[in-house]
Amino acid sequence: MELTLSDDQIDRYSRHIILEDVGVNGQQTLLASKVLIIGAGGLGAPASLYLAAAGVGTLGLVDADQVDISNLQRQVIHHTSDIGRNKVTSAANKLRAINPDVTVNELHLRVEASNVLEIIRDYDFVIDGTDNFPTKFLINDACVLGNKPFSHAGILRFDGQLMTVRPGVSACYRCVFNAPPPPKAVPSCSQAGVLGAVAGVVGCLQATEALKFLLGLDGLLTDTLLVWNAKRMDFRKVKVKRNPRCAVCGEQATITTLHDEAPAVCDITGKAR
């Protein structure tokens, strides 16, 4: 690789460089890598902060929303003074401040069937930090069809889950969850909520998986759903397999193009809208 590290970079990344599994070569690999983070929220905030600090050279941030005061309990990349600002702008400012080595692409938009393949195309790895099931399935299907490795994660109350997908090699999100739950099954947003620190832990786990993938390390959470309950502080690895009946990566896949489904979302009062 023709990139060389400057003296400042050798200092900045010294705790990486002294790791046998990273070294100068690994750090150069990270600096040349591109990760897309979809959702600059509870998961995307910690994930993007650690990836920027780690010196992943290009980070793409996708989010169509503005910072709301109710975000600040867990979306630690946004500050009180950012309320009302576009999330991607707020987040990009922090990432650039942490590490000027990082190029941040701000994508103030929503991923949809019509744009998602184009958006993910230039990245090495995708982090799904979204909060609704139709978008999670859309990202899964796009990453499978576009052959893009990605990290799935979800959080709820005191629980989190995580899985890394290598399309065509390991189980995908749809292999395990088949299809989005019917909107009527997601009835009351007031029952939900999440401990802010749970989002932080799971987002950091996603960043860890991205770094392991970029560095070519073993032990990815492929064919494995990590489920974590914070109250019992109980981490379990559930073995999952590629599902021959999977609609997008199975033997007779029926999903060959992408379609949008209406997401069930909540407003601040906890009512579905």
Partner 1 sequence: MKLVVNGTDVDVSDGINVSQLLVERKVRLPDMVSVELNETVLLRPEFETTLLREGDRVELLYFMGGGRGANPL
Query: Between residues 100 and 270, which has the closer beta carbon with respect to partner 1?
Result: 270
Instruction: Provide the H-helix boundaries in the chain.
Output: 7-12, 14-17, 23-31, 44-53, 87-98, 116-120, 133-145, 173-177, 196-215
Residue numbers 74-113 binding partner 1 by CB under 8 A: 74
Residue among 10 and 265 whose Cβ is closer to partner 1: 265
Q: Which residues of 101-123 are buried (b: 16+ CB within 10 A; e: fewer)?
A: bbebbbbbebbeeeebbebbeeb
Task: Find residue 239's DSSP bridge partners.
Answer: 224
Measure the CA–CA gap between 128 and 220, rounded to whole angstroms.
16
Long-range contacts of 235-242 (CB under 8 A, 24+ apart): 240/163, 240/171, 240/175, 240/176, 241/171, 241/175, 242/170, 242/171, 242/172, 242/175
Stretch that binds partner 1, among 7-15, 57-65, 102-110, 127-135 (CB under 8 A): 127-135
Using CB under 8 A as the binding rule, whether residue 47 contacts partner 1 is answered as no
What is the pattern of x (binds partner 1, CB under 8 A) and - over residues 62-81? ------------x-------
Please, which residues have CB within 8 angstroms of residue 193's CB and are 6 or more apart in sequence? 157
- Using DSSP's 3-state secondary structure scheme, residue 264 falls into coil
Task: Give how many residues touch partner 1 by CB under 8 A.
Answer: 47
Q: How far apart are CA 198 and CA 233, in angstroms?
A: 11
* Residues 198-257 contacting partner 1, CB under 8 A: 199, 225, 227, 236, 238-241, 243, 245
Q: Is 144 helix (H, G, I), strand (E, B) or coil?
A: helix
Q: Are strands 58-62 and 125-128 parallel, antiparallel or unpaired?
A: unpaired
Per the CB < 8 A criterion, the answer to whether 143 and 120 are in contact is yes
List the one residue from 26, 30, 42, 200 that touches partner 1 (CB under 8 A). Answer: 42
CB of 244 to partner 1, least distance (A): 9
14 vs 191 by CB, closer to partner 1: 191
3-state class of 244 per DSSP? Answer: coil
* Footprint (CB under 8 A) of partner 1, residues 150-209: 154-157, 159-161, 175-178, 181-182, 184-189, 191-194, 199
CB of 97 to partner 1, least distance (A): 25
Minimum distance, C-beta of residue 35 to partner 1, in the bound complex (Å): 19
User: What character string, x for contact with partner 1 (CB under 8 A) and - otherwise, covers 134-153?
Assistant: --x-----------------
Shortest Å, Cβ 264 to partner 1: 8
Site for partner 1, rule CB under 8 A:
39, 41-43, 74, 129-133, 136, 154-157, 159-161, 175-178, 181-182, 184-189, 191-194, 199, 225, 227, 236, 238-241, 243, 245, 264-266
